[in-house]
Chain A
Amino acid sequence: MSATARAATATMPPSPNRERRLAAGTAAPAIVILAALFVVPLVLLLIGSLLSPAGITFAEYAKLLGTSHYLGVIWNSLRLALLTTLIALAIGYPAAFALARARGAMRSLLLATLFLPLAASVIVKAFAWTILLRSDGLVNTVLITLGVIREPIRMIFTETALIVGSVNIFLPFMILPIYSVVAQLDRRMTDAAATLGASPVVAFLRVTVPLTVPGIVAGVALVFSLSVSAYVVPTLLIGERYPTLASTIAKAYLLARQPAFGAAAGVVLLVIAVAVITISTRLARFGGGR
Chain B
Amino acid sequence: MSTRIAIVLAWTAALGAAMFLLAPLLVIAAASFSPTPVFDLPIGGASLRWYERIGRMDGFWPALGLSLQIAALSTAISLVFGTLAAIAITQRRLPGSDMLATALTSPLMMPGLVLGIALLQYFRALGLGNAWTALLLAHLVVTLPYIARTMIAGLARFDFTLVEAARTLGCTYPGAILRAMVPALAPSFLTAGLFAFLASFDNYPVSIFLTDVRAKTLPIKMLQYIEEAPDPTLAALSTLILLATVILLILSDRLVGLHRMAGTAE
* Chain A contacts to B: CB under 8 angstroms: 2, 5-6, 8-9, 12, 16, 19-20, 22-24, 26-27, 29-31, 33-34, 37-38, 40-42, 44-45, 48, 91-95, 97-99, 101-102, 107-125, 127-129, 131-132, 138, 168, 171-172, 175-177, 179-181, 183-184, 199-201, 204, 215, 218, 221-222, 225-226, 228-229, 231-232, 236, 246, 249-250, 253-254, 259, 262-263, 266-267, 269-270, 273, 277
B178 within 8 A of A: no
Pick 19 A–B contacts, CB within 8 A, sort by A.
A24-B94, A26-B85, A27-B85, A30-B82, A42-B118, A91-B20, A95-B14, A98-B10, A98-B13, A112-B258, A120-B28, A120-B241, A121-B219, A124-B28, A124-B235, A128-B24, A128-B28, A199-B2, A229-B113
B22 touches A266 (CB 8 A): no
A263 touches B93 (CB 8 A): no
| Cα separation A124 to B225 with both chains bound (whole Å) | 11
* Of the residues B109, B173, B242, B246, contact of A225 by C-beta under 8 Å: B109
* Of the residues A120, A221, A263, contact of B117 by C-beta under 8 Å: A263
Please name the 4 residue pairs, one residue from A and one from B, whose CB atoms are nearest each other, closest first.
Answer: A229-B111, A98-B14, A128-B24, A119-B245
Which residues of chain B have C-beta atoms less than 8 A from A99's C-beta?
A: 14
Q: Mark B106-147, 1 if CB is under 8 A from A, else 0.
A: 111111111101111110010000000000011011001000
* Of the residues B118, B141, B222, B259, contact of A266 by C-beta under 8 Å: B118
Closest partner residue, chain A, to B224 (CB atom):
A123
Which residues of chain B have C-beta atoms less than 8 A from A270's C-beta?
A: 110-111, 114
> Which residue, A6, A95, A199, has most C-beta atoms of chain B within 10 A?
A95
B259 touches A107 (CB 8 A): yes
A22 touches B141 (CB 8 A): no
Closest partner residue, chain A, to B221 (CB atom):
A123
Chain B residues bordering chain A, tally (CB within 8 A): 103
> Which residue, B14, B31, B167, has most C-beta atoms of chain A within 10 A?
B14
Which residues of chain B have C-beta atoms less than 8 A from A107's C-beta?
A: 258-259
> Which residue, B205, B234, B242, B257, has most C-beta atoms of chain A within 10 A?
B205
B72 within 8 A of A: no
B159 within 8 A of A: no
Known interface pairs A2-B174, A269-B113; A113-B238 also in contact (CB < 8 Å): no
Which residues of chain B have C-beta atoms less than 8 A from A269's C-beta?
A: 111, 113-114
B264 within 8 A of A: yes
Known interface pairs A30-B84, A118-B198; A95-B17 also in contact (CB < 8 Å): yes
A121 touches B205 (CB 8 A): no
| Cα separation A16 to B262 with both chains bound (whole Å) | 35
Please report which residues of chain B, range 57-84, place their CB below 8 angstroms from some CB of chain A when the two chains form the complex: 80-82, 84
A266 touches B17 (CB 8 A): no
Which residues of chain B have C-beta atoms less than 8 A from A183's C-beta?
A: 259, 262-263
A92 touches B17 (CB 8 A): yes
A127 touches B230 (CB 8 A): yes
* Of the residues A24, A34, A125, contact of B144 by C-beta under 8 Å: A34
| Cα separation A182 to B165 with both chains bound (whole Å) | 33
Which residues of chain B have C-beta atoms less than 8 A from A175's C-beta?
A: 17
B204 touches A232 (CB 8 A): yes
B28 touches A125 (CB 8 A): yes
| Cα separation A147 to B255 with both chains bound (whole Å) | 47
Which residues of chain A have C-beta atoms less than 8 A from B94's C-beta?
A: 20, 23-24, 27
Which residues of chain B have C-beta atoms less than 8 A from A267's C-beta?
A: 114
A253 touches B209 (CB 8 A): yes
A37 touches B138 (CB 8 A): yes
| Cα separation A179 to B6 with both chains bound (whole Å) | 16
Which residues of chain A have C-beta atoms less than 8 A from B10's C-beta?
A: 94-95, 97-98, 101
B21 within 8 A of A: yes
| Cα separation A24 to B85 with both chains bound (whole Å) | 9
B104 within 8 A of A: yes
